[in-house]
């Protein structure tokens, strides 16, 4: 019987990413458990149930226990965890928000993360993203749902220096976005012919 192996949508791009210079470093983040939370009103009881303050300011994210809580809308958040399985995270979050009238759905397979680090990362992103990524307005804790190239992404700022970002992209768009990022980073690579 054939053995079913778990593969990553960007496995074929690994060596191309490794050839990038340190000024534009792209690394594929490991799979994380992710849950989409819908909740009407956020009160202080959410923290006691969930263990994290869901951010209520638009376009922000906060670190959670072993993951992140990203604002997606006035009643929608993305919770991730690196230590729990998708089933464990979904069950825990659902048990926490269900009594408050909310819902939780496992969306771990929906998005994959790309970590972009380096001094030139902002210039690469600016080629296909219209929002202002200067750390003065897009410092650590900022997030944005926007378009990068033709793909819809969630951008997270991890540093106040503007040189560390996470791009969450839908799995089926990951190959396109990887190609797009490699093309956008071309002018910053040391060997123009790759």
Partner 1 sequence: MQLIPCPWCGPREEAEFHYGGQAHVPYPDDPAALSDEEWAHYVFFRDNTKGRFAERWNHNAGCRRWFNAVRDTTTYRFESVYRLDHPKPVTP
Residues that bind partner 1 (CB under 8 A): 58-59, 72-74, 130-131, 144-147, 152
Nearer to partner 1, 62 or 131 (CB): 131
Supply the Cα-derived Rg of the chain in whole angstroms. Answer: 18
Torsion of CA 117, 61, 94, 146, to 10 degrees: -70
Determine the number of helices (DSSP H) and then strands (DSSP E) in the chain: 5, 10
Integer Cα distance of 154 and 95 in angstroms: 26
- Smallest distance, partner 1 to C-beta of residue 136, A: 15
By CB atoms closer than 10 A (0-12, 13-18, 19+), residue 31 is: middle
Look-up of token digits 């951008």: 155
Nearer to partner 1, 48 or 130 (CB): 130
- Smallest distance, partner 1 to C-beta of residue 71, A: 9
CB contact at 8 A, 79 and 158: no
- Which tokens is 142 given? 């900022």
Nearer to partner 1, 17 or 71 (CB): 71
- Smallest distance, partner 1 to C-beta of residue 179, A: 20
- Smallest distance, partner 1 to C-beta of residue 148, A: 10
Nearer to partner 1, 62 or 72 (CB): 72
By CB atoms closer than 10 A (0-12, 13-18, 19+), residue 10 is: buried
- Smallest distance, partner 1 to C-beta of residue 142, A: 11
Nearer to partner 1, 24 or 167 (CB): 167
């Amino acid at each position: 019987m054939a053995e079913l192996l778990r593969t990553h949508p960007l496995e074929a791009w690994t060596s191309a990413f490794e050839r990038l210079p340190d000024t534009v470093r792209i690394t594929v983040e490991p799979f994380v458990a992710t849950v989409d939370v819908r909740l009407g009103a956020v009160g202080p009881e959410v923290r006691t149930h969930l263990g994290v303050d869901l951010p209520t300011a638009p376009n922000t994210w906060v670190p959670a226990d072993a993951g992140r809580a990203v604002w997606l809308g006035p009643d929608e958040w993305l919770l991730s965890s690196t230590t729990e399985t998708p089933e464990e995270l979904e069950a825990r979050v659902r048990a926490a928000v269900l009594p408050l009238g909310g819902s939780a759905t496992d969306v771990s397979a929906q998005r994959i993360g790309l970590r972009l680090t380096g001094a030139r990362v902002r210039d690469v992103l600016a080629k296909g993203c219209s929002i202002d990524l200067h750390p003065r307005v897009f410092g650590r804790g900022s997030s944005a749902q926007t378009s990068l190239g033709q793909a819809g992404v969630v951008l997270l700022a991890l540093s106040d220096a503007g040189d560390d970002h996470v791009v969450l992209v839908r799995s089926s768009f990951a190959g396109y976005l990887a190609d797009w990022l490699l093309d956008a980073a071309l002018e910053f690579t040391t060997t123009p012919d790759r």
